[in-house]
Chains A and B, each alone.
Chain A
Amino acid sequence: MSCANPIDPNVLADYWLAELPEAEERALEEHLFSCEGCTQQLQSIVQLGQSIRTLAKQGNLPLIVTQDFLDRLTRQGFRTREYPVPAGGRVECTVTAQDDFLIGRMGADLRDVERLDLAMCEPSGEERLRLRDIPFRADSGEVILNYPVGPARQSGPDLLIMKLLAVSKETERLLGEYTFNHTPS
């Protein structure tokens, strides 16, 4: 299904998210109703969104989230297990079969931070994984991590050190270290 004037997929995504000016939206709808190819392209965007929602509900993506995200999960009936940890703190943690999401809340002073990385480390300090340039609100005082719940359920005892690092052009500064001592339920 070809189209002589195919709509940019980003414009279709903006349309789907109701972020086009009204006149542009109406013109695009006129086109969609006469164009099979662009309709299919829009359908693929809708399909992608639905698939992303399904994945998110499975809780298996390491993801920096917001309080709004958690509130929405709670409203939808999902059970979240949360572990708040201050900088330099340690928490005993687990996850059960009834938990849908596993959340770590790491407190830190994020003012004056340009770029923020989250490193997941072995007790030896060796990095297992680093999430680079994570989103944060400078005034929030915390980073909320959705930790993949599936692998956590299958894990044996595990000591995981998380580090929040303020990164600038040439240096990185430790903002906080957080120890999660996981025990299977």
Chain B
Amino acid sequence: MAPRIRLYGLRHLRDEQAAADLVQQVLMITIESIRAGKVRDPDKIESFILGTCRMTVLEIRRGSSRRERLLDQYYVPPVSVSPEPLQDLDQLAQCLARLAERERSVVMMTFYQEQSSEAVAGAMGLSNENVRVIRHRALGRLRKCMTGSQE
């Protein structure tokens, strides 16, 4: 489950270290809960972990000190979840070069700056919906190009 917790952390906290901390914290809480008999249905452990992720992210945003308390109670070594390896950058550059200029700009602004459709639209003089359509089309082309499948 660690990669899923990490992805959840990256999505909601936008920080690699914070996501790694979330993994550690959620696993600690899960262990604590299992030991305390709070997880009654093992088949629902995924839902329990997701709920814990949501609660923990809220607590992190509130600056809660629960993590320190749990570290004192149950030590869980830092969980190593490697960031995704980069793709072949030469190939990606070639695939990006094949995009229309407008598509390339939308993709770069979206992922480099992590800007919302609204922000990209404002910067480029497009509508939000237009930006999303361009982004969807561009990502589809990039995926096909990177996997070598035919467009």
B85 contacts the other chain (CB 8 A): yes
| Cα of A17 to Cα of B146 in the assembled complex, Å | 21
- B interface bracket (residues with beta carbon within 8 Å of A): 35 or more
Chain A hits for B150, CB < 8 A: none
In the complex, are the beta carbons of B93 and A9 less than 8 A apart?
A: no
User: Are A16 and B112 in contact, CB atoms less than 8 angstroms apart?
Assistant: no
Q: A15 contacts B87, CB within 8 Å?
A: no
**What is the number of contacts between chain A and chain B, taking CB atoms within 8 Å?**
141
Give min CB distance, A33 to chain B, whole Å.
4
A-binding segment of B29-37, B59-67, B70-78, B120-128: B120-128
Q: How far is the CA of A55 from the CA of B7 in the complex (A)?
A: 22
B125 touches A47 (CB 8 A): no
Interface of B is mostly: helix
Q: Are A52 and B111 in contact (CB under 8 A)?
A: yes
Closest to B124 in A: A135
Min CB distance A172 to B, Å, is: 16
Check A33 against B46 for contact (C-beta < 8 Å). yes
| Number of A interface residues in the complex (CB < 8 A) | 52
Does the CB pair A52–B113 fall under 8 Å?
A: no
Contact of A61 among B1, B3, B97, B143 (CB under 8 A): B97
Residues of A within 8 A of B115 (CB): 68
**Contacts A52-B107, A53-B112 given; does A33 touch B96 at CB 8 Å:** no
Q: Interface of A with B (CB < 8 Å)?
A: 9-10, 13-19, 29-30, 32-34, 39, 42-58, 60-61, 63-66, 68-69, 72, 118, 131-140
